Chains A and B, each alone.
Chain A
């Protein structure tokens, strides 16, 4: 394997993740697959890269008191359950020879949708700013169903008094995605925490990173234990470059307006989703392939 290239790849993805404040998993897995690493190994190994970049993120957000460990804990509990389900599902799909399809389909659906939404929202905001229009007043009311559910808990740091079920379910959903796509799930968690749960904006990123650490750590252990698809050498090479790149990306991010950053991120997310989905429509060069899981 070409390891200098992998260090560079880790650094570039780390830079992007630092720049946009994301885990970067959605970018890393497709590039690794493009480089010829089997999707199952790519997805499982780079989850540990997400652990590393999120750890340094959570440390700095904790120092700024921008992590709500209470709601984060509820989400992480859901995430662990979701990861358990997701790894079993992935194992079954892999043996069935359908893991590649599941990866391609979930990238196309989730990244395509989120990328489109982000691009639409941020471009709209940029247009209004350029034309000098006044930003429309944001609706701050939470959906009523959040209050109708049982098991209400207080989350003072997030300014919430809601049922524990929605954050738990959100965490579980991110856990399943983490197992199948090798991502932390930040691209789903952050918008959901902001626009559905209506958490205080200041604690959203730090809290989502906390949940991501727990879930990706769980996913890595489960993938290693159940599927033996984690490549420690690949993982370490990637995260060496990744943690360094992330620091430089974070330094640079202050220079751009948030809406411009979001527009770029939306574009990257959309392109990655389309690229991964394309595989299903292009005639493969060899119709046959080995399936994993040959019994010993």
Chain B
């Protein structure tokens, strides 16, 4: 009934720095994850993974580390309540073509102190700068017989909708900003924790570890990790979505049986 999970991908770790002249002179960052495959289990308290890394800094200038973790992109539908004749009614659904299902940043200082607005925007670092796909022109798409309005990034209410996506996702702990999330445990050695809530989407995640010096990105290390869900609740979820009709019949049979059992039990007493 439940298909076997695909084999885990090999743990992807940034290549070990070579002992060349460049290593000794360049400012570099290297990082790795404790687990490249994360299993979010059925108790649904989520999962926590640790990212650790090292900064090679032969210069005198201080550096800042920013960790960005992005989950798989997916479309987002939103509605907005508006007041019509005294009633609060939902608007027609509005569609963003793609937004990360998970997004977090952890850094040594607040992002605005590390680099300026333009730099963060260009790199897509920080929830206020993350890329949410929206075409230039507003249009409608029809899915399941319902017409959705696709948000245009030039529309006047684009920012309201964008902020709403971020706010709602932050409330669900899917988007997160931790200005003190990167901690140096020793000279040049740092660690950051990535908290994945139970509702985090499954799939391939990308982690970027940026090294900033004087507001400029000087080095980056890219990592990937895979998030999978396991356990009884996950299996029920899979069952409900793969075999929805059998699932429905099972629920009804269980319910009828419980009712019958209760009436038998209480008549005896």
B145 touches A (CB below 8 Å): yes
| With known contacts A213-B256, A224-B245, A239-B258, A294–B168 Cβ distance under 8 A | no
Give min CB distance, A96 to chain B, whole Å: 5
**Contact assessment for A290 and B240 in the assembled complex, using a CB-CB cutoff below 8 Å:** no
B50 touches A (CB below 8 Å): no
Neighbouring A residues of B89 by C-beta, 8 Å = 98, 101, 280
B74 touches A (CB below 8 Å): yes
Among A59, A97, A233, A239, contact of B79 (Cβ-Cβ < 8 Å): A97
**Contact assessment for A221 and B248 in the assembled complex, using a CB-CB cutoff below 8 Å:** yes
Query: Which secondary structure dominates chain A's binding surface?
Result: helix
Query: How far apart are the CA atoms of A220 and B233 in the complex, in Å?
Result: 19
Neighbouring A residues of B144 by C-beta, 8 Å = 91, 95, 293
Question: Digit string of A40-67 for contact with B (CB within 8 Å is 1, else 0)?
Answer: 0000000011011111110110000000
| With known contacts A291-B79, A292-B77, A233–B236 Cβ distance under 8 A | yes
Neighbouring A residues of B93 by C-beta, 8 Å = 95-97, 291
Interface residues on A, range: 35 or more
**Contact assessment for B256 and A290 in the assembled complex, using a CB-CB cutoff below 8 Å:** no
**Contact assessment for B259 and A56 in the assembled complex, using a CB-CB cutoff below 8 Å:** yes
Question: Digit string of B73-98 for contact with A (CB within 8 Å is 1, else 0)?
Answer: 01111111111001111111100000
Q: Which partner residue on chain A sits nearest B262 by CB separation?
A: A243
Among B79, B160, B251, B258, contact of A240 (Cβ-Cβ < 8 Å): B258
| With known contacts A213-B256, A280-B87, A52–B78 Cβ distance under 8 A | no
Give min CB distance, A94 to chain B, whole Å: 9
Query: How far apart are the CA atoms of A213 and B164 in the complex, in Å?
Result: 42
A287 touches B (CB below 8 Å): yes
Among B83, B145, B168, B260, contact of A59 (Cβ-Cβ < 8 Å): B260
- B239-269 residues with Cβ-Cβ distance < 8 A to A are 240-241, 244-245, 247-252, 254-256, 258-263, 266-267
B167 touches A (CB below 8 Å): yes
**Contact assessment for B262 and A246 in the assembled complex, using a CB-CB cutoff below 8 Å:** yes
Give min CB distance, A77 to chain B, whole Å: 18
**Contact assessment for B92 and A232 in the assembled complex, using a CB-CB cutoff below 8 Å:** no
A289 touches B (CB below 8 Å): yes
**Contact assessment for A235 and B146 in the assembled complex, using a CB-CB cutoff below 8 Å:** no
A225 touches B (CB below 8 Å): yes
| With known contacts A56-B260, A101-B89, A217-B256, A294–B75 Cβ distance under 8 A | yes
Query: How far apart are the CA atoms of A286 and B160 in the complex, in Å?
Result: 12
Q: Which partner residue on chain A sits nearest B263 by CB separation?
A: A56
Interface residues on B, range: 35 or more
Give min CB distance, A62 to chain B, whole Å: 10
**Contact assessment for A55 and B245 in the assembled complex, using a CB-CB cutoff below 8 Å:** no
**Contact assessment for B252 and A48 in the assembled complex, using a CB-CB cutoff below 8 Å:** yes
Question: Digit string of B89-116 for contact with A (CB within 8 Å is 1, else 0)?
Answer: 1111100000000000000000000000
**Contact assessment for A280 and B245 in the assembled complex, using a CB-CB cutoff below 8 Å:** no
Among B92, B251, B259, B266, contact of A97 (Cβ-Cβ < 8 Å): B92
**Contact assessment for A53 and B259 in the assembled complex, using a CB-CB cutoff below 8 Å:** yes
Neighbouring A residues of B255 by C-beta, 8 Å = 48-49, 51-52, 55, 217, 220, 235, 239
Among A57, A91, A222, A290, contact of B168 (Cβ-Cβ < 8 Å): A290
| With known contacts A225-B244, A233-B233, A289–B259 Cβ distance under 8 A | no
B143 touches A (CB below 8 Å): yes
A136 touches B (CB below 8 Å): no
Neighbouring A residues of B252 by C-beta, 8 Å = 48, 51, 217, 220-221
A284 touches B (CB below 8 Å): yes
**Contact assessment for B77 and A291 in the assembled complex, using a CB-CB cutoff below 8 Å:** yes
Neighbouring A residues of B256 by C-beta, 8 Å = 51-52, 55, 213, 217
Among A98, A230, A243, A284, contact of B248 (Cβ-Cβ < 8 Å): A230
A-B contact pairs, 20 of them (CB 8 A): A48-B252, A48-B255, A51-B255, A52-B258, A56-B259, A60-B267, A95-B144, A96-B92, A98-B90, A220-B255, A224-B244, A225-B248, A232-B240, A236-B258, A240-B258, A280-B87, A288-B161, A291-B90, A291-B93, A295-B75
B residues sitting closer than 8 Å to A (CB atoms) are 74-83, 86-93, 143-146, 160-161, 164, 167-168, 233, 236, 240-241, 244-245, 247-252, 254-256, 258-263, 266-267
Nearest 7 pairs of A and B residues by beta carbon: A55-B259, A224-B248, A288-B164, A243-B262, A221-B248, A56-B263, A52-B259
